[in-house]
Each structure stands twice: as C-alpha cells, then as structure tokens.
Amino acid sequence: MKRIILLVILPLLALCLFTNLTLRANGRPIQKTDLIERRIYAYRGWQSIGLTLHPGELLTIKAQGRWLYSPEVGYHGPQGSSVQFPAPLYYPLPNKIGGCLIARIGETGKPFYVGRGVTMEVDTFGPLYLRINDDIVTDNDGYVTIEVTVVPPEED
C-alpha cells in the first residue's frame, strides 16, 4: 500500500510543483525571455546567454554594473571607459570605446555596440553573445548585469 501511494502521489506532487514553477500567476507560461538576467564577466571572451534570436524579432538589452579592462582607466560601467579613445583595430569592435559592452548574433556575426543599452530589430538567426570590448580579457575584473527582452515580430 505504501509503495502504491509513493508511486502515485510523488509523481503527482512533482507535476504540480513543475506546473507551478512554469506558469505565471495569471496562468500564462513563463517565456524564456522572462528569465534572462545574466552577468557578463570582463575576464571572459564571447559569452552565450542561451538565447537564440530570429529575424524580425525586436531585441532590447539593458546593462548595468562595473568592470575593469585597464588599471590605467579604472572601473567603469558598460558604456566603456570615460577616457574616450577609439579601440585599436585588433579589438573585437575597433574604433568604438574600449571596455564597453558589445554583442554579436551567431558564431561569426558582426559585433555591435551595446553599452548601457540597445534596442534593435534582429536581421539574422543565431545565438546571442556578449563580451567586453577588449583584446586581452585575462587581466580584467568585474561584471555587468544584463536584462534581455525579445519581442516576436507582429503578425499581419
């Protein structure tokens, strides 16, 4: 009798718990974009946040925090160094601000400036990657926290 109770009750209890974790209070499913608030570390290269984008979606990234890419410049936010000199040609995003938050879509996508935030229409398919605009990340410190929102394209 105890085995029957365990075999029936425990799976039902687990199902109820899982359903509670995946639904909002209004009964709608939680979307993957509702759960995305991640840290992007200054001492790592390209970092995937586990989100794949599709053409036509509206992507919004907001960032805050402090990180360091050069002891000479000191800690600063995702907008990059206050010492405004263009990043050298060997940086992931040359001619932009050193130490700023950048992103790309796909393994070989063209990097673009994010800074404190960006909103844009996605024009390609692929996973979203972010990083600091720096060529050598092993001597960096800190992180920025990002909040990502993706809105699907409007249907006609």
Q: In this predicted model, what pLDDT tens digit does every residue of 51-62 receive, in sequence order?
A: 999 999 999 999
CB 121 within 8 A of CB 58: yes
Q: Quote the CA–CA distance of 60 and 149 in Å, as a whole number.
A: 5
Categorize the per-residue pLDDT at 28 as very low, low, confident or very high, splitting at 50, 70 and 90: low
User: What's residue 10's pLDDT?
Assistant: 63
Nearest Cα neighbor of 132 from 119, 114, 117 is: 114
Categorize the per-residue pLDDT at 23 as very low, low, confident or very high, splitting at 50, 70 and 90: very low
CATH 3.40.50.300 matches 31-151 = no
The DSSP-derived string for 41-107 is ETTSSSEEEEEEE-TTPEEEEEEEEEEES-TTT--B-TT--SS--BPPTTSSSTTSBTT-EEEEEST
Domain residue spans in the chain? 1-30, 31-151
Q: Residue 72 above 90 pLDDT?
A: no
For the chain, the distance separating the N- and C-terminal CA atoms, rounded to the nearest angstrom, is: 57
Q: Residue 140 above 70 pLDDT?
A: yes
Mean pLDDT, the chain, rounded, equals 85
- Where is pLDDT greater, at 32 or 105? 105
Q: Taking the mean position of all CA atoms in its chain, how far away is CA 32? A: 12
Lowest mean pLDDT among 1-5, 23-27, 135-139: 23-27
Model pTM score: 0.76
